[in-house]
């Protein structure tokens, strides 16, 4: 094989191979960096709670000063809910059910007892994506699964705990702590244990299973129960302009800028798609440059190749040096492009951290995997075309 390579390496154009290498490197870096940047930044716009469906919006009716004086209700009627269900952007709708009884919770940390009045809300179970055994309640159970806003934990850690020299509590540790829940209503007072099974970034409420809420309201609620004042809506496309127009016409408000985040995520996808397209075009052009260089090289070495075939060398053996050269170049491109992506990622992750938008800086397996896939595809195309060109010449 060394003898074959010595015979065939003449007429190799270093400039042409360098042009292929740089063009392929540029295209590969653009593609991998676009994929990695999209994977890193998208969670900032689409950050959602793991226990809730991704494309959902929480809406409520606007509360105005005049409406308060006139006694206007901010609750959703059955007609309102049906109207929302009929909209083309709606997948499903669920009402928030509020607790109509007194609730208080206590927690003891290092001998200090803390207790506060609180409230419960629930949504239909189809909107909650938690293992069934964790999000279950049947009458007679002494434990209530609870999901709380993450900022409640932050208020304790960075406010109350620091001012009282108490230890901070992680989310994992909080999930192992049992809360003392006291419920009163209709002349009854009962004690329960609360188990925190999740933390919410988007819902500013204390969520309990819908089965518990319906049962507890029948057991403890006094007076007539009011209708829902908030709705959770699963939409097929949060960037649909009809959503904002409908809510504005109806006087509804959305929570946590979900619509704005959806639009930003949509623009991010468009921009990354354009960048990836440019990178793929550059990679295709670099592949064309390499194939043109190899084909010209084969033409220049036609006499030597004919002699090698006449003395008994197979087409596969004669083509192997060229195939090995292209695979080696593609491998170098993969290694260098991965290193460049890691360097650029380190730079933009530090910048985003300074802006208060930290990203997960774990191993970039997605970009590495995409790079390996591109390497295999390009190398397979290279080797196949070289072999076919060799056979067509002789």
Of residues 302 and 79, more confidently modeled: 79
Question: Using one digit for the tens of pLDDT, what is the confidence trace for 136-177?
Answer: 888 888 899 998 887 777 777 777 777 777 777 777 777 777
Mean pLDDT of 13-20: 71
Evaluate if pTM is beyond 0.85: no
Q: What is the DSSP code string of 298-327?
A: HHHTHHHHHHHHHTT--HHHHHHHHHHHHH
Q: Using one digit for the tens of pLDDT, what is the confidence trace for 240-273?
A: 778 878 888 888 887 655 556 566 666 777 887 8
Query: How far is residue 378's CA from residue 285's CA, in Å, rounded to a whole number?
Result: 12
Residue among 94, 113, 116, 92 at smallest CA distance from 105: 116
d(CA 8, CA 386): 14
DSSP 237-278: -TT-HHHHHHHHHHTEEESTTHHHHHHHHHHHHHHHHHHHHH
Q: Has residue 365 got a pLDDT over 70?
A: yes
* Structure confidence by residue, pLDDT tens digits, 165-208: 777 777 777 777 788 899 998 888 999 998 888 887 667 788 99
User: Vertex 46, ends 42 and 50: CA angle to 5°?
Assistant: 115
Residues 288 and 159: their CA atoms lie apart, in Å, by 62
């Amino acid at each position: 094989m060394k003898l074959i390579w010595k015979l065939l390496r003449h007429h190799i154009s270093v400039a042409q191979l360098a042009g292929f290498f740089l063009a392929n490197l540029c295209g590969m870096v653009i593609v991998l960096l676009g994929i990695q940047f999209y994977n890193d930044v998208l969670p900032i716009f689409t950050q959602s709670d793991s226990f809730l469906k991704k494309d959902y919006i929480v809406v409520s009716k606007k509360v105005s000063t005049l409406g308060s004086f006139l006694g206007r209700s901010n609750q959703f009627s059955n007609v309102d809910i049906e109207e929302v269900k009929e909209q083309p952007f709606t997948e499903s709708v669920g009402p928030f059910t509020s607790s109509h009884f007194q609730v208080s919770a206590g927690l003891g940390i290092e001998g200090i007892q803390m207790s506060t009045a609180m409230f419960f809300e629930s949504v239909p179970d189809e909107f909650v994506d938690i293992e069934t055994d964790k999000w279950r309640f049947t009458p007679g159970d002494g434990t209530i699964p609870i999901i709380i806003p993450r900022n409640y934990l932050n208020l304790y850690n960075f406010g109350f705990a620091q001012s009282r020299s108490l230890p901070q509590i992680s989310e994992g540790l909080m999930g192992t702590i049992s809360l003392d829940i006291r419920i009163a209503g209709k002349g009854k007072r009962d004690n329960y244990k609360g188990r925190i099974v999740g933390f919410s970034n988007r819902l500013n409420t204390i969520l309990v299973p819908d089965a518990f809420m319906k049962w507890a309201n029948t057991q403890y609620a006094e007076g007539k129960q009011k209708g829902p004042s908030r709705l959770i809506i699963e939409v097929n496309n949060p960037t649909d302009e009809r959503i904002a127009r409908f809510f504005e016409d109806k006087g509804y408000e959305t929570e946590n800028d979900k619509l704005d985040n959806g639009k930003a995520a949509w623009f991010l996808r468009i921009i990354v798609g354009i960048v990836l397209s440019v990178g793929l075009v550059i990679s295709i052009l670099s592949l064309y440059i390499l194939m043109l260089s190899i084909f010209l090289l084969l033409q220049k070495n036609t006499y030597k190749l004919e002699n090698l075939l006449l003395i008994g060398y197979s087409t596969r053996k004669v083509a192997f040096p060229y195939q090995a050269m292209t695979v080696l170049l593609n491998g170098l491109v993969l290694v260098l492009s991965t290193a460049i992506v890691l360097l650029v990622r380190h730079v933009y992750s530090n910048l985003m951290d300074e802006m208060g938008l930290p990203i997960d800086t774990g191993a970039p397996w997605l970009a590495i995997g995409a790079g390996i896939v591109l390497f295999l595809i390009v190398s397979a195309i290279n080797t196949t075309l070289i072999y076919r060109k060799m056979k067509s010449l002789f």
